Structure 1
Amino acid sequence: MCGRYTITLTLEELVIRFVMDRTSLPFYSPRYNVAPGQMIMAVIHDGENNRAGELKWGLIPSWTKPENERSGGTGIINARSESVAQKPSFKALLERKRCIIPADSFYEWKPLPDGKGKQPMRIQLHDGSLFAMAALYDTWLTPEGQKLSTATIITTEANELIMDIHSRMPVILRPEDEKAWLDRNERSPHKLLPLLRPYPAAQMKAYPVSQAVGNVRNDTPELLEEVPVHT
Structure 2
Amino acid sequence: MCGRASIDKEKIPKQHRFAAKLEGVAFEKNFDARPSQQLPIILPDLDKAIIATWASPEKEPDGKPTLPFNVRQENLLFIARFRSLLPRNRCIIPIDGFFEWKEIEAELDENIVEPAVGLGLDMFGNPIRSRAEKKRLKKAKPQKQKYRFTLKDKEPFGLAGLWRESLLPATGELRRYFTIITTQANAAVMPYHDRMPVILSPEDEAKWMNNRLQEKQWYNLLQPYDAKQMAVMAIDDYESTLGNYVAPQLNSR
Percent identical pairs in the alignment equals: 31
Displacement over 3 Å in runs of 4+: 21-24, 67-70
Residues 137, 229 of structure 1: CA spacing in aligned structure 2 closer, same or farther, 3 A cutoff?
Answer: farther
Structure 2: distance between partners of 1:93 and 1:75: 11
Match of 1:191 in 2: 217
Could you tell me which amino acid in structure 2 is paired with residue 8 of structure 1?
D
The answer to whether the 8 Å contact 1:158/1:166 transfers is: yes
Are 1:182 and 2:209 counterparts? yes
Displacement after TM superposition at 1:164 (Å): 0.2
How high is the TM-score relative to the length of structure 2? 0.76
Residues 109, 22 of structure 1: CA spacing in aligned structure 2 closer, same or farther, 3 A cutoff?
Answer: closer
The answer to whether the 8 Å contact 2:21/2:42 transfers is: no
Structure 2: distance between partners of 1:112 and 1:12: 34
Work out which of the two has the higher radius of gyration on C-alpha atoms and give 1 or 2.
Answer: 2
Unaligned stretches of 5+ residues in structure 1: none
Could you tell me which amino acid in structure 2 is paired with residue 185 of structure 1?
R
Residues 138, 22 of structure 1: CA spacing in aligned structure 2 closer, same or farther, 3 A cutoff?
Answer: closer
Secondary structure in 1 matching 2:101:
strand
Are 1:209 and 2:224 counterparts? no
Match of 1:56 in 2: 53
Which structure carries more helix by proportion?
A: 1
RMSD: 2.8
Deviations 1:153-172 (A, max 9, x none): 00001001101000110000
Are 1:168 and 2:167 counterparts? no
How high is the TM-score relative to the length of structure 1? 0.83
The answer to whether the 8 Å contact 2:22/2:49 transfers is: no
Residues 68, 143 of structure 1: CA spacing in aligned structure 2 closer, same or farther, 3 A cutoff?
Answer: farther
Match of 2:246 in 1: 225
Residues 210, 199 of structure 1: CA spacing in aligned structure 2 closer, same or farther, 3 A cutoff?
Answer: same
Match of 2:13 in 1: 13
Residues 14, 56 of structure 1: CA spacing in aligned structure 2 closer, same or farther, 3 A cutoff?
Answer: farther
Unaligned stretches of 5+ residues in structure 2: 107-140
Structure 2: distance between partners of 1:201 and 1:229: 29
Secondary structure in 2 matching 1:29:
coil
Secondary structure in 1 matching 2:48:
strand
Secondary structure in 1 matching 2:42:
strand
How many pairs were matched up?
216
Are 1:153 and 2:174 counterparts? no
1:116 to 139, 142, 150: 142
Displacement after TM superposition at 1:80 (Å): 0.4
